Structure formats: structure tokens, C-alpha cells
Amino acid sequence: MHVLLIEDRAGDARLVAEALAECAPQLALHWSCDLGDGLAQLAQAPVDVVLLDLSLPDSEGLATFRAVQAAAPRRPIVILSGCGDDELALAAVQEGAQDFLPKCDLSGSLLSRVLHYAIERKRAAEQILTLNIELETRVRERTRDLIEANRELEAFAYTVAHDLRRPLRAMDGFSDLLIKDAADRLSAPQRDYLERIRRACDQMSRLIDALLELTRLPYVPLRQVPLDLGALGQEILDELARRTPDRHVERRLAENLATIGDAALVRIVLENLLSNAWKFTRCRQCARIMVGSYYDLGEEVFFVRDNGAGFDMTYADKLFAPFERLHRESDFEGLGVGLATVQRVVKRHGGRVWAEGAVDEGATFYFTLAPPPQTPTGGAAGLPPATEIAPHGYLAQNHPAG
């Protein structure tokens, strides 16, 4: 290991040499007696650590340190300070010197330890620096990849919209024209085949719409406003009832399901959950759908519960993946994108969604619409009523000042 000592006083230099020879004979000492020579040595000789006196014939004070640091930014520098010069030495440490040693009590063991530590510390610092640079490069690369992927996704969605809808329109259009033109010449099965083509077209068209909606969701800006999930749920259930007047479903909606969220997006959540509940209770004489909320660890959790066909909990996490279904198309029709959409919307709000159910015993879908609250104690002592937990803007809306 090579130590470069830059020190103008021969007496001090000898002290250092003696201390080193005694305690760390493995250290090779090179001596420069002014800054000019020191910098020249740094440029040529292998140097592991610099031992630097700040007051030299050709340079004085912090300027000395800065000159050496600029010439060898990756080399550890230890200041050799005159007695009573601690303040100056500390200033150098603040600017990046590894340590300082007062000349007046130089012992071999101290010197050796300080030099070794200085080298190790500098090495560690360098490593962190390299790692940081690497990390930054990687983050930049990832960001670029991500932007690229997003752009591809947009291009894909565009293609889906244009190129897949077009042939579909032709299939549906010409089968419909054929049914109308040749109505009296078609046998019942022939007619049925054409009707099947049209139904398939309709399904694919809805599939494309849903897929597009799904790819768009992460990009639509959120507009958070106060919402009443009870009223919204009521509205959606009324519409479902209107569309299937033969169904009798008992509905229980909790009062005061106030929250904040994006009106259009939260409506999508409730529409999907409620139309699922409506659909999967079809097999029930006494169908029941419940919408409510409860507090858990200071967090409001909403739920939609039904007593319908239920599902096997083994596959509970599959439900939220696009196109995953746990029921047969012949039993319950569907595309399998509803819950994937629900999950995306809920995540956009910072919330979570999960499900519980059992085959033939109904299902419950839970969701939150905000990130979980930070609870430093981890406890949820004394659950506050809903209005107290609601954010400020919301309260102001409901109870105008005055």
C-alpha cells in the first residue's frame, strides 16, 4: 500500500516515517515537500492514500486540500493538521477529506488505523457512487421501456378499435341483410345459423369495447367528488329490475354510504358488482342483494353481498384477471372482464378489492376507495363514525359553513 505524504517540514515528515515504520511496515511512504511536487507524484506514482499538510510553501489552507482533491478525486485524503488547527481540518473533512490527524500526538498505531480506515471508507463511498449511477441508468432504462410499452399498448388499442370492429360490422350487417332479404326462403335452422352469427358478432363487439375500456382505464384522469354509494346502488338496481321485470330480488342498501371517488369510475365498479350479484342469484327463489360498509382499522370497507351461486374460494384470486371465469357460459353468460375492470378502477383510487364466497352459498365482494390509513399504533381504538373519518373537503360540501 502506498502513502503519499505532502509535508514541507522535514522534522514532521520524519515523525510520520518513524511512526509508520514502527507500526505499519507494509506501508510504502513517498514524500513530497510542496504541493507542486505532490500533484506530480499523484499523477505518476501509485497512491492509495494521501496524507496532507494544509500549509505548504506554494499553497495555504483549504486551497491546498481542494487542489489535491481536484487532481485525485477518487483518492482518500487524510489531513495532517497543525496543533490548534482542528477547525481548518474539520472544514476539509466537510468538503470530503476522510479524516484528520493532529501532528502533536502522532502515534504509529493511530496513524496506521486512520490510514486504513480512510482507504476503506473511500472505497465504500466510491462503491455507493457507482451503484447510484448504475441505479439511475437502470431507472432511466426502465422508464424508457415503460413509455415504449405504453405507446405500444395505445397503438394496440387503436388497432383493436379500428381493424377488429370493421370486419365485425360486415359480418353482422350482411347476415342481417340476408335474414331480411331471404326471410321467406330460409328454413328455421338456416335462420338460426344466421342469428347465431349475429349473436357472436354482438358478443365480440362487446368484448372489444370492454377490452378497450380496460386498456384506457389507467390513463383517464381521476376526478374525485363526494358520492353516495347507496343512491348509486339503488339507481343501478332499479335499472337491472327494469330490464328483467320477471326477477324478484330483495335489496338491502345501507344508509349513508358516503365516500369520495370518481363518479363515472365508481359507477362502473357498482354496475359490475351489482350486475354480477343480479346474474348469479338467478337460480334463487328468494334472491337477496346487500350493499353496505364497515370500518376495519379505521378504514371504510364497502361490500356487495348476494346469496347466489357463489364460487369456489380456491380460485378466489383468479376472478380479477381479465377473461377468467369460474362459471360456464351455458350457466351464466358473460365476458369475464367485469371484475378486472373493477380491480383497475379500485386500484386507480388507491384501494383494494377482494372476494369471499362458497359454492352455492353466495358471494361477497369487498372494496375500498382510498389508500389504507397510516396507523402508527397499528390499532383501531374507538372506531369513529363515518362522517368523522371523511376528509375535510367532503364535510365542507355537506355542511356549508354558517
Partner 1 sequence: MDISHKTILLAEDDPNDEELFRQAIAQANINCRVEVARDGEELMRYLFGTADQRRVEPGADIDLVLLDLKMPKLNGLQVLTVMHNAHGAGHEHAPPIVVFTSSDAEQDVSTAYDLGAVSYVAKPVTHGRFVETVQQLVIYWLGVNRRAPRRRQRGASWASTTS
Ligand X SMILES: Nc1ncnc2c1ncn2[C@@H]1O[C@H](COP(=O)(O)OP(=O)(O)O)[C@@H](O)[C@H]1O
Burial class (CB in 10 A: 0-12, 13-18, 19+), 401: exposed
Give the x/- contact pattern for ligand X in 305-344, rule: CB under 6 A: -x-xxxx-------x-----xxx------xxxxxxx----
The smaller minimum CB distance to ligand X, of residues 237 and 363, is found at 363
Q: How far is the CB of 292 from partner 1 (least distance, A)?
A: 36
Cell numbers for 208: 372489444
Q: How far is the CB of 194 from ligand X (least distance, A)?
A: 25
Residue of the chain from 56, 277, 353, 390 that contacts ligand X (CB under 6 A): 277
Residues in 122-181 that interact with ligand X by CB under 6 A: none
Q: Using CB under 5 A, which of the segments 97-105, 143-151, 333-341, 364-372 binds Mg ion?
A: 333-341
Q: For residue 341, what are the CA distances in angstroms to 30, 223, 335?
A: 71, 17, 12
Q: How far is the CB of 306 from ligand X (least distance, A)?
A: 5
Q: How far is the CB of 298 from Mg ion (least distance, A)?
A: 31
Cell numbers for 189: 335452422
Q: For residue 198, what are the CA distances in angstroms to 14, 141, 179, 212, 316?
A: 100, 47, 10, 21, 33
Question: Which partner, partner 1, Mg ion, ligand X, none, binds residue 344 by CB below 5 to 8 Å per kind?
Answer: none
The smaller minimum CB distance to ligand X, of residues 152 and 360, is found at 360
Give the x/- contact pattern for ligand X in 291-310, rule: CB under 6 A: ---------------x-xxx
Rg, Å, the chain Cα set? 38
Residue 366's φ and ψ, nearest 5 degrees, are -110, 145
Where does this chain bind partner 1 (CB under 8 A)?
157-158, 161-163, 165-170, 172-177, 198, 201-202, 205, 208
Q: How far is the C-alpha of 58 from the C-alpha of 32, rounded, in Å?
A: 12
251 and 382 Cβ atoms separated by less than 8 Å:
no
The smaller minimum CB distance to ligand X, of residues 50 and 346, is found at 346
Q: Using CB under 5 A, which of the segments 97-105, 276-284, 292-300, 389-397 binds Mg ion?
A: 276-284
Half-sphere exposure for 178 (CA within 13 Å, toward CB)? 16
The distance from CA 386 to its chain's CA centroid, rounded to whole angstroms, is 29
Q: Using CB under 6 A, which of the segments 27-35, 75-83, 151-159, 275-283 binds ligand X?
A: 275-283
Q: How far is the C-alpha of 216 from the C-alpha of 264, rounded, in Å?
A: 14
Q: How far is the CB of 340 from ligand X (least distance, A)?
A: 6
Number of residues this chain uses to bind ligand X (CB under 6 A):
22
